Structure 1
Amino acid sequence: MDNRLALFDEGMVRSLNATGRMQTIQCVWVYERPVDMEGVRRFHRNFGYGMAGRRIERSPLPFGRYRWVATPGPASPLEVNETPIPREDLNDWIDFRSQIHVDAEEGPGWHIAVQPLDDGSTAVCVVGTHCLGDGVGAALAVWAAVIDNKIDIGYPAPYSRRTGRAIAADLRDTVRELPQAARAAAKLVKLVREGAKNAPAGAGGSTPAPRKKPTGPDEPVLVPWTSVWIDPALWEERAHALGGNTYALLAGFAARLGERLDRRGPDGSVTLMIAKADRGDKDYRANAMSLTNVKVDPTPVTKDLSAVRAAVREALKTNEETPNPLLDVLPLVPLLPRKAVRLLADSIVGANDLPVTCSNIGVMPEALTSVDGTPADFTVFRGVDQGLTRHFLELSGGQLVVVSVLVGGKINIGVEAYKPGAENSKALLRELVADTLAEFELTGEIR
């Protein structure tokens, strides 16, 4: 089998290595009682298979393609903390766990911990690198572990290739793919020229204002986050009342949050970067998705979602018919220096537009809530960055991520936000989320 990473996945790994960051998926289950530890231990033993039972092995050549190798079984020991912590400290513990290192190359690619709380409840947390799997991939790994399905993809063992043979094989692959890389280089030159030609007009007839250079010492930053649980019937009712659908309501909510956090472009619109899953059967790409940008006017969305619905539908259709042209230059990724890979990644996601990441993972099986064999009282799925610093966030214009999933009979919307130069706290973000929901006549449980 061809165990090389997909070019999109390899681009993600190389771009994250260039910045020193790591993007992760965090799943948290809270039981309003002690958990069945034997069930959690079984889940821990089962988790290290399929996409979670692998790691990345580099080529001996700096320009050689990265490859998947099998590392089945637990990536690290199950961490069981015996001392309860106050219930009000749960979110701080979730933050703490989110920053414990994961690495798809050196390992561990994921870790699991159990934490009792002083009111008799229990939290279970899994954190895994996005380089092993995206949100849907993480959900599939959890589901497989819960139902005792130990998937064997068929990857070779680590270091099973002798160095000499690996060098020869990777050289042959590189030479065979040089024509594809040449076409990618020509495409890149064309895109750069078109970008330079169109730059003076920009979006809305003007170019974005230059971002201020950060001042003062750099320091690590935990981006504030919150989660809200909403009744699916209420969500659907409001979506239809506003002339939209459930995805249009999520997009409108994200755009309105973007406006409140000053993420409007020169033309007054908010750019939503929508991730659409396209994972097929036995599709083991780490990140099986397409990315498309949608410009949304946030002003009318609380009264009318019809324009948002049409814009999202048209953008997704256009993306299927004419994918992002920058994806055509991905064959260059193994040949580019780190800085160039990072710039290419920023261009693909539209980093200059202050995009708002907006993702709807969809409906997840009820089994995903049952890490000890029984359903948790509530479940959190969210994306988290490790290694973020204040200077990085200010230079990139801050961050806003909105992710929705229907699991356990509730819609869970996770929001992460950082605004440069402003006070950034969980309390203020909860207030912002509550106020924005109220504009859509929505209510939910915010934690």
Structure 2
Amino acid sequence: MGRLSVVDEIFLRTHRGLGTPVALQGLWRTADRVDPALLARVHDALRSGPLGRRVIRPRVAGARRSWRPNVRAHPIARADGVLSVANLLDWADSQGAELDPEYGPGWRLSTATLDDGGSIVSLACSHALADGRALALAVDDALGGARVQRPHPAVPDSDWSDAQRQWSIVLRGTASALRHGIPGRPAAETRDEEPCTIGGATTHSAILQCSAAEWDRAATTSGGTANSLFIHLVATMLWDSGFPNETIEASLPVDTRDEPSVDNDLAMTQIAIGRADPPARIRTLARSAYERRMSAPGGMPEELLQLLPDRWAYALSKGAGERDILCSNIGTLPASLRRLGAHRCTGVAARAIHPRLTATQLPRTRLSGYLCRTGDDYVLSLVSLDPARIESAAALGELALRTAASAGLRTRAW
């Protein structure tokens, strides 16, 4: 099935506690009760699809870890009783536990009936298995939409040949980098203050839904794009929460896949946003940033991280890609995701969550935003990682609604 990439292994280490734990999640809200038989069919399709795999360790030093098919899956998790819509996101935040991309199933399908007469369905998976776009593609595949490339039955090269390839890349790349001198140890991206140790949850969530026509109109009026308006809104929320710096550094994931594939096919770039920068200015900054990607420090080959013990690799890559905010534009979701069988979806969201995150693991990132478009709506998912300034999900929701209104957007909260 192929070998793990450098990015795959970074997220595999976070699963083991070396960094901020991350799981990807898709959420579907329907106006009526979802048929259990339908979910069972989707579950079976996911089990035999591209998410049905696990990590295998190599037998030769220097070879990369590989993927092996794994049809074992968690059973569908069904919430007891009827869930209040007011508690919907608290339930969703809890669905990332016990995902194991190496020794057990790395994904889980969950559902709950809601007190508004509808249902909520969650698909959560370890970030080692997929990025946000990949998760959408995996669901599209399971729902009978566009088929993604099927995994190969076995790793095409031996551990010996893969180790030889890795050592060759690293030795050549290191020799080239050292011609410019020995690179300094990269500084880990950290918070300006000590982690918050107050009781309660370390993260809080909010989801807003807005007419795509209205969002695009507001973006055009400000001289920006749907994407630059998105980044502007997330930055404004952070400042309005009390963030003191005059400049916010934003981390922007970039989808680098050439064809539909379920993996971590992404790169990272960044921009620095000033308090007075409108969406038009952010549009210019982002356009330039997308042409240059974050890379390993000192020109060292990134494959070096796959030759080192996990704790050493973590120390070298700690905080990679973390900035004050994360703005991940997942794009337009496949049309198949607008329905679950006969059930029309009233909203579809895609985001990351952080299972088992403790106060001592809080990253530099204070606020993460995830934007996707489905049908005639944009859905903005927000996750706060700053419990000292945003003390509750209600506070985050109020902040998000207020910021959107100030930009001329009429939004509705989930």
- Normalising by the residue count of structure 1, what TM-score does the alignment of the two structures yield? 0.82
Deviations 1:266-325 (A, max 9, x none): xx22111111112122544x2111210111113242xxx221111111111234xxx634
Superposed, which structure 2 residues align to 1:43-192 within 5 Å?
43-61=42-60, 63-72=62-71, 75-81=73-79, 83-98=81-96, 100-147=97-144, 153-156=150-153, 169-186=158-175
Tell me which of 264, 274, 290 is aligned to 2:267. Answer: 290
Give the drift of 1:363. 1.0
Higher helix share: 1
Work out whether residues 398 and 418 of structure 1, in 8 Å CA contact, stay in contact via their aligned partners in 2.
yes
Structure 2, gaps ≥5 residues long: none
1:11-410 matches, cutoff 5 A: 11-19=10-18, 21-61=20-60, 63-72=62-71, 75-81=73-79, 83-98=81-96, 100-147=97-144, 153-156=150-153, 169-186=158-175, 211-214=192-195, 221-261=201-241, 263=243, 268-281=246-259, 283-284=261-262, 286-301=263-278, 305-319=279-293, 324-326=295-297, 328-346=300-318, 348-349=320-321, 351=322, 354-393=323-362, 396-397=363-364, 399-410=366-377
Cα drift, residue 215 of structure 1: 7.9
In 2, Cα distance between equivalents of 1:192 and 1:43: 54
Determine whether 1:443 maps to 2:410.
yes
Aligned to 1:8: 7
Confirm or deny: 8 A CA contact 2:237 2:403 kept in the other structure: yes
Residues 121-157 of structure 1: CA deviation (Å, up to 9, x unaligned): 2222211111111111100111111117776724337
CA contact (8 A) 1:109 1:128 kept: yes
Whole-angstrom distance in 1 between the partners of 2:242 and 2:173: 36
Deviations 1:386-431 (A, max 9, x none): 22101221xx345210110001421000011122533521011111
- In structure 2, distance between residues paired with 1:278 and 1:379: 23
Distance 1:190 1:388 in 2: 41
- Provide closer, same or farther for how the CA distance between residues 418 and 22 of structure 1 changes in structure 2, counting only shifts above 3 A: closer
Q: Give secondary structure in 2 for the equivalent of 1:318.
A: coil
Kindly indicate whether the alpha-carbon contact (under 8 Å) linking 2:30 and 2:347 is maintained by their aligned counterparts in 1.
yes
Task: Find the aligned partners of 2:38 and 2:125 in 1 and give their Cα distance.
Answer: 20
Q: Check the 8 A contact 2:203/2:387 in 1, yes or no.
A: no
Do the aligned partners of 2:30 and 2:343 also contact (CA within 8 Å) in 1?
A: no
Q: 1:441 to 1:142 in 2, by over 3 A?
A: same
In structure 2, relative to structure 1, the CA distance for the partners of 1:428 and 1:18 (3 Å cut) is closer
Read off the aligned partner of 1:441 and give its amino acid letter. G
Tell me if structure 2 keeps the 8 A contact 1:272–1:355. Answer: yes
Change (3 A) 1:416 1:115: same
* Distance in 2, Cα, partners of 1:388 & 1:21: 7
Q: Which has more radius of gyration? A: 1
Is the Cα–Cα contact under 8 Å of residues 244 and 306 in structure 1 kept in the other structure? yes
Residue of structure 2 equivalent to 1:202? none
Residue among 400, 403, 406 paired with 1:433: 400
Q: Distance in 1 between matches of 2:240 and 2:179?
A: 37
Q: Which residue pairs with 1:205 in the alignment?
A: none
Amino acid at match of 2:315: L
Decide which structure has greater strand share.
2
Superposition TM-score, scaled by structure 2 size: 0.88
Preserved CA contact (<8 Å) 1:46 1:150: no
2:385 is aligned to 418
CA distance in structure 1 between the aligned counterparts of 2:145 and 2:29, rounded to whole angstroms: 21
CA RMSD of aligned residues (A): 3.1
| Equivalent residues of 2:253, 2:328 under 8 A apart | yes
Aligned length: 412
Structure 1 CA distance for aligned equivalents of residues 309 and 241 of structure 2 = 34
The CA distance in 2 between the partners of 1:54 and 1:283, in whole Å, is 14
CA contact (8 A) 1:70 1:155 kept: no
The alpha carbon displacement at 1:334 in A equals 2.1
The AA in structure 2 aligned to 1:10 is E
Q: Distance in 1 between matches of 2:232 and 2:180?
A: 31
Query: How far 1:84 moved relative to its partner?
Result: 2.1
